[in-house]
Homo-oligomer: A and B are copies of this chain.
Amino acid sequence: MSELTVKALVCDTFGTVVDWRGSIIREGKARWAAKLPGIDWPAFADAWRGRYGPAMNRVRTGDLPWTGLDVLHRMMLEDTLTQFGVTGLSEADKVDLNNVWRRLKGWPDSAPGLRRLKKRYIIAPLSNGSVAILTNMAKFAGLPWDMILATELFHHYKPDPETYLGAAAMLNLPPGEVMMVAAHTGDLDAAKALGLRTAYVHRPKERGPRAEPKRPAADAYDYVVDSFVELAERLGT
């Protein structure tokens, strides 16, 4: 399929480009063993991330005014620390631990695939992460974005329509010239309904060994692939 009409690829980040769960587990065991002894890091990562959807929904439904993800992550961290019985962590340590979201590593194919895609397309995250999180994460993980698109710019979280349409408008492109890339069908379905092109990247290990997502049908989206390298190959870059 010729994809010369697509000018920009905008990518979900947490889970699609970076391995948040594995990164938190690794950092927890390596850096936090002394200050947070006895923590079950896979359970901690899952509990922290499990508060993500509900926290964003408080903003999306108007229960909270616009609140960026650094602040939501911190609120979610406080609840998670309480859940795990942690008390006495210093403010500096909490800030540092909360910044683990800036220190996530890419899946092995992410940076190599993105470098190839960048040769022909504008590549950007379109994430619920803040601009600061995404910018620092890109430098940490070597992600070669052309620019940073964050839903923060629109004061709406995905899957609100303002985020997908705002991204296209900011790039001065019609929605049909923008392709949403994500490992999550809800994200892609919202983008597709607004006229964006879509690519699904299968990430079976995102939520750990016991929560493998169901792979959608091959014709559910414009592309259904297993990696950014495969997406680059399918797009001929």
Say if the beta carbon of A163 comes within 8 Å of chain B.
no
Bound-state Cα–Cα, A47 to B170, Å: 28
Given known A-B contacts A145-B147, A148-B148, A172 and B139 have beta carbons under 8 A apart: no
8 CB-based A-B contacts, threshold 8 Å: A130-B172, A131-B147, A135-B146, A138-B147, A139-B146, A146-B148, A147-B148, A153-B153
Say if the beta carbon of A132 comes within 8 Å of chain B.
yes
Number of copies: 2
Question: Chain B residues near A136 (CB, 8 Å)?
Answer: 122
Interface residue ranges, A against B (CB under 8 Å)? 70, 122, 130-132, 134-136, 138-139, 145-148, 152-153, 170-173
A132-B172, A138-B146, A153-B153 are known; give 20 further A-B pairs, CB within 8 A: A70-B172, A122-B135, A122-B136, A130-B172, A131-B147, A131-B170, A131-B171, A132-B170, A132-B171, A132-B173, A135-B146, A135-B147, A135-B171, A139-B146, A145-B146, A146-B148, A147-B147, A147-B148, A148-B148, A152-B170
Question: Chain B residues near A132 (CB, 8 Å)?
Answer: 170-173
Q: Decide: A139 and B122 in contact? CB cutoff 8 A.
A: yes
For the complex of A and B, list the 10 residue pairs with the smallest distance between their C-beta atoms, beginning with the closest: A132-B172, A147-B148, A135-B147, A131-B170, A132-B171, A147-B147, A135-B146, A122-B135, A139-B146, A138-B146
Which residue among A131, A138, A153 has the maximum number of chain B CB atoms within 10 Å of its CB? A131
Cβ of A149 to closest chain B Cβ, rounded Å: 9
Cβ of A14 to closest chain B Cβ, rounded Å: 18
Which residue among A70, A153, A172 has the maximum number of chain B CB atoms within 10 Å of its CB? A172
| Residue of B with least CB distance to A172 | B132
Cβ of A10 to closest chain B Cβ, rounded Å: 12
Bound-state Cα–Cα, A170 to B131, Å: 6
| Residue of B with least CB distance to A136 | B122
Question: Chain B residues near A145 (CB, 8 Å)?
Answer: 146-147
| Residue of B with least CB distance to A144 | B144
Cβ of A144 to closest chain B Cβ, rounded Å: 9
Bound-state Cα–Cα, A138 to B123, Å: 12
